[in-house]
Structures are given as C-alpha cells and as structure tokens.
C-alpha cells in the first residue's frame, strides 16, 4: 500500500485552461511487466506549447476529456511488477513515453514508432502524461541514468533520441556536409549527433541569432557553423546565404538537410540547399499542408524522408553518447519551474526564453 494515496497532476481542459487535481495512482496488480515511477522532472516541448494555446494538435482535449500533460520525463523507480528483473526501486531513469502493441506489422518489422495502437503520453483523449506524481510504463521503456547525468538533465534524452532517429534516417556518413534547419533542442541535438556520425561540416540554421550563436559552440569539433536566416530574404536569398556562409558551394550544396523546425520557409530553403542526389529528412512537425518544391526534388533526385519520434536503439544510443561525453547536456536547461508553475513554463517556452524549460515533479 502506497503511504501517500494522492497523485497530484496537471490537467489541460482546453486552450489556456490547466487545472491541478488528484488522480488515481496507477496500479501494477495486472501489469507484471510495468514499473511505477515517481516523476522527478518533465521537460517542455514545442508540442506542449501548442496544446496550451490550442488544446491539441490533431486530437484535442475537452472539458469532458481533460488530459494530464507532459512526455519528456525522468524519475525514480517507486515500485516494480512481479515479472520485472532489470530495474529496482530507487533506480534513476529516463522515460521513453510511448509504448506499442508489440503485435502489429509495424512492431514486428522493427518500426514500433509507427504502431497504430501506440500509447503515447499526453495523447488525447485517453492517454495521460507525465506531469503527475506517479506514472506507469513498461519496464523496457525505461533507461537507467548514468551517474554523470542529473535527473533534471535526463529529460533531454527524449529529444536526443528524436535527433538520433533523424540522423540515422538520413544515413549521415563520414565527410558529409550537413545542414540542420532549426536550432531548438531537437535541432541542436541533430547537429551534434550528425557530427558524431562523421559529418565534416554541420551548419545550424535559425531565424534567431542567439540560437545560432549557441549552436556554433554546442556542436564544436571544428566543423560547427551557423547561419541566421533572414525573414525578409525569402527562400532564394536564404539559400544563397547558407551556401556562402556555410561553405557549401564547392560541394554543390549540402549532402544532407534535416529540418527540425517545421517552418515552411525553412523546408523550402532546405530542399534548394541540397546538392544533387542529396537526402532530406523532415523531423520538425509543421502544418499539415504547405508548399513543397516538388520539381526541385525531382530534378535533383533527392531522397526525402519523414521522421516520427524514435525507434529501436535510439534511446540506448542517446544515453551512450552522453555517458561517453560525446553529447554534453550541461547548459541546455534554461530554467526549472516548480510543479505549480507549469503554465508559466509553457509560456516561457512560447516566448523563446532560452533553450529548454523543465518542470519539477510534485513534491
């Protein structure tokens, strides 16, 4: 019996309508392969901001179906199911916040991120998220945190896994020149993971000068470059700027472009920046319909790929990169908010006040 029967949670009822309530504590009675986690921290993602402002993205919360927010999370194992052997109470973990059915064609082919029955944290209308005290998840979707990673930094393993997935899809190879559009958390991680995969030049592109400056130092290794896109330059002007300032002209353009912004101008610019035969990966979630330069893609015979969350091995590789010091998490967290100030954290992220906002779990 849990000595504390309460499970404080932050629920979204609609746009700009968040409420703090107690929800039932998940049980392990009929879930022998699951663990119960005492949430330590939850990171703020761009999708959280969209939910806060609009109540959802494709599916929406409602007063009759409010939803506990949050999916980038870390915590401490509180209890384990009877079949769990890999974790013990007290273990510090980073959480992969979605688990699949394990039976469908996508799961059996190794692409479980495409499972139609995926239960992903904070997914309306029924799957609650991690802005709560106790959260249940299968044990194999928890990753032990090495001593070198603080629990507040462990929330960053989730966006790092997104970046690992994108770079693996792009098949970045040694010596290639890579452009990453967007220098938010995922974009920064895409850039540094591309460097780890052997890219000789990584150009971080963003419309915010401060983010570009941070990216130059964060990527490091001598190949980190940054270009500030001009909102008034248009696609053609920004292509010229990236080719010149990124040192890509002699290469005929970039070998790989990864868009981590979802912004229409960045998507269009990225395709035109690519060399013939290059690879384009869309990692940022933008609006459902936008103008895409199809003719350019055809004439250059570009390989274009969508990218959705993460799959087998992505979290493991992310943790390993941090453990070996190849990806440094220090300095990415701009501010930690108390649980009761979750909405302030979303607003801070909305206005671009830093790189990553983090919310403490209930005390």
Question: Is the residue at 50 inside a domain?
Answer: yes
How buried is residue 69: exposed, middle or buried, by Cβ count under 10 Å (0-12/13-18/19+)? buried
pLDDT of residue 82: 97
Together in a domain, 174 and 299: yes
**Together in a domain, 134 and 23:** yes
Cis peptide, bond prior to residue 125, ω within 30 of zero:
yes
CB-based contact 120:97 (threshold 8 Å): yes
How far does CA 107 lie from the centroid of its chain? 21
Looking at residue 356, what is its pLDDT?
96
98, 311 Cβ separation under 8 angstroms: no
pLDDT in tens, 158-182: 999 999 999 999 999 999 999 999 9
Q: What's the pLDDT at 287?
A: 80
Report pLDDT for 1: 42
Q: pLDDT tens, 207-244?
A: 999 999 999 999 976 678 999 999 999 999 999 999 99
Q: Is residue 291 located within the same domain as residue 337?
A: no
CA-based nearest residue to 199, from 172, 226, 180: 172
Q: What is the CATH number of the domain that holds 82?
A: 3.90.180.10
Considering the domain architecture, whether residues 174 and 146 belong to the same structural domain is answered as no
Say if residue 199 is in the same domain as residue 287. yes
Report the distance separating Cα 283 and Cα 259, nearest Å.
6
The parent domain of residue 73 ranges over 6-150+329-360
Give every residue of the chain whose pLDDT is below 50, as ranges.
1-3
116 domain residue, yes or no: yes
Residue 161 inside a domain? The answer is: no
Q: Are β-strands 72-80 and 17-22 bridged in parallel, bridged antiparallel, or unpaired?
A: unpaired
* Residue at 278 is within a domain: yes
Q: At what angle do helices 157-170 and 314-323 cross, to 10 degrees?
A: 110
Note whether residue 164 is domain-resident.
no
């Amino acid at each position: 019996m849990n000595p504390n029967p309460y499970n404080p949670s932050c629920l979204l009822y609609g746009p700009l309508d968040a409420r703090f309530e107690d929800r039932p504590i998940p049980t392990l009675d009929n879930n022998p392969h699951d663990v119960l986690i005492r949430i330590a921290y939850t990171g703020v993602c761009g999708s959280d901001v969209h939910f806060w402002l609009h109540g959802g993205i494709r599916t929406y919360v409602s007063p009759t179906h409010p939803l506990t927010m949050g999916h980038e999370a870390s915590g401490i194992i509180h209890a384990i199911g009877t079949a769990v052997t890999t974790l013990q109470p007290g273990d510090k973990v980073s959480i992969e916040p979605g688990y699949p059915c394990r039976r469908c064609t996508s799961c059996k082919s190794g692409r479980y991120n495409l499972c139609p029955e995926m239960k992903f944290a904070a997914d309306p209308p029924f799957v609650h998220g991690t802005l709560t005290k106790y959260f249940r998840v299968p044990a194999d979707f928890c990753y032990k945190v090495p001593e070198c990673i603080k629990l507040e930094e462990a929330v960053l393993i989730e966006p790092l896994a997104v970046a690992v997935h994108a770079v693996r899809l792009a098949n970045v190879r040694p010596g290639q020149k890579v452009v990453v559009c967007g220098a938010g958390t995922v974009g920064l991680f895409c850039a540094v993971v591309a460097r780890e995969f052997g890219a000789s030049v990584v150009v971080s592109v963003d419309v915010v000068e401060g983010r570009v400056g941070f990216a130059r130092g964060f990527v490091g290794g001598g190949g980190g470059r940054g270009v500030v896109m001009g909102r008034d330059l248009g696609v053609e002007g920004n292509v010229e700027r990236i080719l010149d300032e990124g040192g890509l002209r002699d290469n005929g353009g970039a070998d790989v472009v990864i868009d981590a912004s979802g912004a229409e101008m960045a998507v269009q610019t990225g395709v035109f920046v690519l060399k013939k035969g290059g690879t384009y990966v869309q990692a940022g979630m933008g609006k459902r319909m936008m103008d895409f330069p199809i003719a350019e893609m055809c004439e250059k015979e570009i390989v274009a790929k969508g990218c959705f969350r993460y799959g087998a091995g992505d979290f493991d590789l992310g943790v390993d990169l941090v453990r070996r010091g190849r990806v440094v998490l220090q300095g990415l967290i701009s501010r930690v908010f108390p649980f009761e100030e979750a909405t302030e954290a979303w607003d801070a992220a909305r206005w671009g006040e830093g790189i990553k906002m983090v919310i403490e779990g209930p005390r």
